[in-house]
Structure 1
Amino acid sequence: MDRDLIRNHASDHGRYEAFIRAASCGPALRTAIVHPCSPEAIRAAVEARDENLLDPLLIGPEAKIRAAADAAHVSLDGIEIETVEHSHAAAARAVELGAARKVAALMKGSLHTDELLAAVVAPNSGLRTERRISHVYAMDVPAYPKPLVVTDAAINIAPTLDQKRDICQNAIDFLRLMGVEDQPRVAVLAAVETVNSKMQSTLDAAALTVMAARGQITGGIVDGPLAFDNAVDPAAAKTKGIVSAVAGQADILLVPDIEAGNMLVKQLMLFAGADGAGLVLGARLPIILTSRADSLRVRLASAALAKLVAERAPHGAAA
């Protein structure tokens, strides 16, 4: 990418504002905040409530929740608390309420992500679908001319081909729900842009490309393998002689594994000034994952995306 472009636009953000404005209209989304026993978790819930994005139900040990609110210097007046003993019970109760449609989204508090998602994907949770759950980072990268989704950088460690198909479909459906009218362009990333029998990521990328052409993945244009520069930089794709409807203009970057995705997202955040709102898809309701390091803008964007998904998704599916 052009280094001058990165420098000139490194402080330019604003792509989340449209999502936040759209989501703040209408009733707030009833959301279970699971084990919000840290100041950051409480603050995120209150901020989303104040922006008319979420109607939070705090689930966890009440004494710890109130202590966290005191530490965060926020008031819990008007916010309902459902008391349970510990984080495991909070996750189980939140999933129960979600399955009964008494809440329309879940938001991770101060428990570990694995603990929450284990309750979601349990055989009798009522929130599982036929899809593999996956995480999307909706990135606002100042040097890139449009929003960019990176998946999966948070949940699936070393996904199989079938799991990558679900990860890909979840991301495509997500962008369609966000109002992308054209077919989202999915770049399946690898270290090289040619198929190499010794590199499983290139074999999976080629298979996913054919699967999309045969209707096993729908609603988007899939191409790979593509190296990162070929996926996002038209000049790099032209130099390599790549003829593709995706190369140089990807909407979605499908990474080969969690390690590649995690490093890519953090590099974009630290070196390119990007923001990354996070959401878990593939369950019967959206799940908001935020980090203690997230800015207010990112926390609100994550809540806004969850609300839009919940409002726009077909009944009984989160993407």
Structure 2
Amino acid sequence: MSNMRAPLLSIIIPVYNADRFIGKCLDSLICQFDAAEVEIVCVNDGSEDRSGVILATYVGQYASLIVETQENQGVSAARNAGIRRASGHYVMFVDGDDWLCADAAENLLPILRSLQYDCVFFGLRESGAPGDEPCAESRSIEGVKGGPDDVAAAILGFQSPFQGYAPGKVIRRSILLAGPSIMFDERVSILEDEWFWINASCRCERAFILNESFYVYRRRQGSLSSGLNEDRSRQELCMRRRVHKYVRIHYPRQERLARGRAAQCVAGLVRYYYVHEDNASLRSIRSAWKAYPGSTLLLLPGVPVGRKVSVLLCDAAMALHVSPILLKPLRSLLSEGMPEQ
């Protein structure tokens, strides 16, 4: 084993009850990545469906396919297990229900082979059912070379197609393992991927941000990221404040973006409580609103005009202690675009 050359890239796939999708995911990788250069590390996180059986059938089809099985511990634990098991110079995360476009390898591998970048970002596009064809191209920016501040801006920017998602990014594995190691926080299930990348970006002195979208994201009902309810929004706010505190110290030039992200979360809760005429919750969120008023969003690019209007309305109502019942005639305006509970 000591004479074996480490692969260039390790693709880490957490798998949980993905038997309907994992085949397409693996096919999209096997058809374009050479097993001599790229290993695929699948972590079966206690799946209760046929995911394990399907993974076993692919072991013989791709020489560098590794399957790790563990009791269900959550996606963060599965990704961390993949990082520890990987042996590539770089690691990349792909979710078991998503896939890569057919031209991903020919565009990504030459950049990685140069070994000159600590991380490489590329865009995501969303798939729609039926047919599993992308329903919309992601917004893209010009390909740029940069450093930690540029990576933080790509993660936090409202117009960025990258943001804090675990996929769509490649990072040098040694950066994650250099003490103290950077891993996904297994204690949280909201924004754990953004927290991971914000921490990792501190060590990415040489970054390359592509203007192409090679990753196809499948939005499906019941996934952790499909819609937010009040409880999840409260959890998100805790993480947004955590990210803001970290960014304020390590990336002061991007502080306004992190503050805006927190303000957007608070504004969503304020709007929700006004729509549902919840006076008690409005009182409980007031201190957070004072720290992150909706007006923070007004000068940030990428925030829809309609959202800015509702934010200003809620800001004025909060400042004047307006009772929710008085905004009842504006309920349709305030509830526009709000995820259903």
TM-score exceeds 0.5: no
Question: Which structure: larger Rg?
Answer: 2
If the length of structure 1 is used for normalisation, what is the TM-score? 0.34
If the length of structure 2 is used for normalisation, what is the TM-score? 0.32
Which structure is richer in relative contact order (CA contacts within 8 A, separation 6 or more)? 1
